[in-house]
Amino acid sequence: MKIGIVGLPQTGKTSLFNALTSSNVELGFGGGRKDPNLAQARVQDDRLDRLTEIFQPRSHIPTVVEYVDLSGLARGTARKEGFSPEFISNIKGTDAVLYVSRQFASEEVVHPEGTVDPVRDINIVLDEFLFSDLTVATGRLERLRKQVMKVKDPALLRELDLLERCLAHLEEEQPLSSLELKLEEEKTIRSFAFLTRKPMLVVINIGEEDLAAAIELERNITRQFPEHLKFVVVNARLEAEIAQLPPEDRIIFLADYGLKEAACNRVIQNSYELLGLISFFTVGEDECRAWTVTGGSPASKAAGTIHTDMERGFIRAEVVHYEDFIRAGSLAEARKQGTMKLEGRDYSVRDGDIISIRFNV
């Protein structure tokens, strides 16, 4: 699962990428490269911290989200010659989009629009994405209509109908994420990699001067967009500096700026939810670890995330929810209280389940 960071030039995408992934990529080398920056961010989870305190394992491993620092977006790029092939192929490989909009003021950093206005900039990109999808849908429809005239293939007719619905939706200036599709249809349009179908999170990159009014700013901007669009306000440059510090120094540094927690943690958690992901845990004296599965996954799939052998030879999963485990105080007590249960391969994993797989290969 991968999230693409996009935005107008010089909005702080690479700074944010560094902040999220504790990387130290040099700024100023954007410009639609073929091999964009790619790195993982650790998902901060208080539950894993608590489990680690309890089990005192030799190692503890958080789950991660992957970010890729894409560039190549500017006003009119989709309208003029279409997005560059590099941008399209890069963004095709992402599962969601993180859009960075600039709020920070600076004399030195040029704004392509001349003035700072994050709401206008968000609308620019929504517009560009819509236009790009319109072009893709129109092109495919043209070809399909010709094909259908020659052969009345039922699969082609279904695709034609689907794309006509997509086009009508886009012409009403609605993103495809708000179009309800059957699973089969979802599969059909996946190959088009429509940009407005991708889940999207917006990060407003503020300057130090905006820190005091950050919450107000976030609320104010959120109010101006449809409910499904989520916003997080971050001072990317500051947080990129903080991410370079040893973890124990970060809290002190944040406190100097009146902050309790890095806003990047919220970005990462929001990204995780955006992707529809949930965490389950494995625990023990050797290792406590958080794992990722898509919400609604069966126990067999969770087993497969740990090891393919576990999925293949799956017998049973022993499951207790984190909250029940904390209440009981130990695995043995949870078992006694009956909150730790044996589940079959179709058991639907919940966020926060502590799981132990019994398998045989």
Is residue 120 within 8 A of residue 111, CB to CB? The reply is: no
Instruction: Give the residue nearest to ligand GTP (CB).
Output: 30
- Among the listed ranges 3-11, 79-87, 154-162, 275-283, the one in contact with ligand GTP (CB under 6 A) is 3-11
By CB under 6 A, is residue 84 in contact with ligand GTP?
no
CB of 10 to Mg ion, least distance (A): 8
Site for ligand GTP in 225-254 (CB under 6 A): 235-237
d(CA 80, CA 82): 6
Is 32 a binder of ligand GTP (CB under 6 A)? no
CB of 28 to ligand GTP, least distance (A): 6
Helices (H), 177-330: 183-190, 214-223, 236-243, 247-256, 263-274, 299-306, 308-312, 322-328
Sites for ligand GTP among residues 295-354 (CB under 6 A): none
Q: How far is CA 198 from the centre of its chain?
A: 10
200-205: strand order across its sheet: 37-42, 64-69, 2-7, 96-102, 200-205, 230-234
- Minimum Å gap between C-beta 228 and ligand GTP is 25
How many residues make up the chain in this entry? 361
Q: Does 10 bind ligand GTP (CB under 6 A)?
A: yes
Give dist(CA 305, CA 310) in Å, integer: 9
Q: With contacts defined by CB under 6 A, name the span among 38-46, 103-111, 299-307, 315-323 that binds ligand GTP.
A: 103-111
Which of the choices ligand GTP, Mg ion, none does residue 282 contact, using the CB cut-off of 5 to 8 A by kind? none
Shortest Å, Cβ 13 to Mg ion: 5
Question: Using the rule CB under 5 A, is 271 a contact of Mg ion?
Answer: no
Strand 64-69 and strand 2-7: the pairing is parallel
Could you tell me the two tokens for 348? 């639907």
Total binding residues toward ligand GTP, as defined by CB under 6 A: 20
**Are the C-beta atoms of residues 57 and 284 closer than 8 Å to each other?**
yes
Residue 28 in contact with ligand GTP, rule: CB under 6 A: yes
How many whole angstroms separate alpha carbon 283 and alpha carbon 262?
Answer: 27
CA torsion angle 147 150 151 156 (round to 10):
20
Encoded tokens for 38: 């790619």
Nearer to Mg ion, 51 or 238 (CB): 238
One residue of 76, 85, 109, 257 binding ligand GTP per CB under 6 A: 109
Query: Out of Mg ion, ligand GTP, none, which partner does residue 140 contact, by CB within 5 to 8 A per kind?
Result: none
Per-residue contact flags (x/-) with Mg ion for residues 5 to 24, judged by CB under 5 A:
--------xx----------
Rounded-to-integer distance, Cα 97 and Cα 200, Å = 5
Of the candidate spans 26-34, 94-102, 205-213, 292-300, the one that interacts with Mg ion by CB under 5 A turns out to be: 26-34
Selected range binding ligand GTP among 7-15, 54-62, 138-146, 345-353, rule: CB under 6 A = 7-15
CB of residue 6 to ligand GTP, shortest distance in Å: 9
**The residue type at 327:** R
Q: Which of 207, 232, 224, 188 lies closest to 5 in space, CA to CA?
A: 232
User: Which residue in 94, 81, 40 sits closest to 274, CA to CA?
Assistant: 94
Whose CB is nearest to Mg ion? 14
Contact between 12 and ligand GTP by CB under 6 A: the answer reads: yes
Least CB distance to ligand GTP at residue 103 (A): 8
Q: Which of 4, 7, 12, 30 binds Mg ion (CB under 5 A)?
A: 30
CB of 4 or CB of 175, closer to Mg ion: 4
How many residues belong to the site for Mg ion (CB under 5 A)? 3
Query: How far apart are alpha carbons 12 and 17 in whole angstroms?
Result: 9
Instruction: Name the β-bridge partners of 203.
Output: 100, 232
- Interface residues toward Mg ion, by CB under 5 A: 13-14, 30
- Interface residues toward ligand GTP, by CB under 6 A: 7, 9-15, 27-28, 30, 71, 104, 106, 109, 205, 207, 235-237
